[in-house]
Amino acid sequence: MKSIGFAKVHIFPYSRRKGTAADKYANQISPDIKKIRAAEMAKETAETSKAFLQSQVGRIEKVLIETRNKNGRYEGYTMNYTPVFVEADESYINKVVDVLITGVENEYCIGKLTVIG
């Protein structure tokens, strides 16, 4: 996990399914162990995700502005699906704009509109 540095991971503990070959395997993992392993994976993912977001600071990325959130900021995604909050206005919704990534807040990058050229 750490060496790859995933930005986001979906964690799905294995569930036995009757009639499958895996259901017949001996030494099935207990639900408690699955829960512990999923929690460990979630912790590692939080760290690698934060590191990835931090690595975006200082970059200028194209962002598709999609919506205005309840805090009045506009939300969008870069070409590699990095979530970004941007100070903008409604005229930017559904437009791709250049954004300078200036920081990280929780699970989002923070950016400001920039003019290239």
117: pLDDT strictly greater than 60: no
Letter for the amino acid at 16? R
- The pLDDT tens digits for 32-52 are 999 999 999 999 988 899 999
Q: What is the pTM of this model?
A: 0.77
Distances (CA, A) of 40 to 11, 29, 33, 37, 45: 10, 16, 11, 5, 9
Per-residue pLDDT band at 1 (split at 50, 70, 90): confident
Answer yes or no: are the C-beta atoms of 105 and 85 closer than 8 Å: yes
Answer yes or no: are the C-beta atoms of 111 and 92 closer than 8 Å: no
- Could you please state the CATH topology (level 3) that the domain comprising 60-113 is classified under: OB fold (Dihydrolipoamide Acetyltransferase, E2P) (2.40.50)
Domain segments of the chain as ranges:
22-55, 60-113
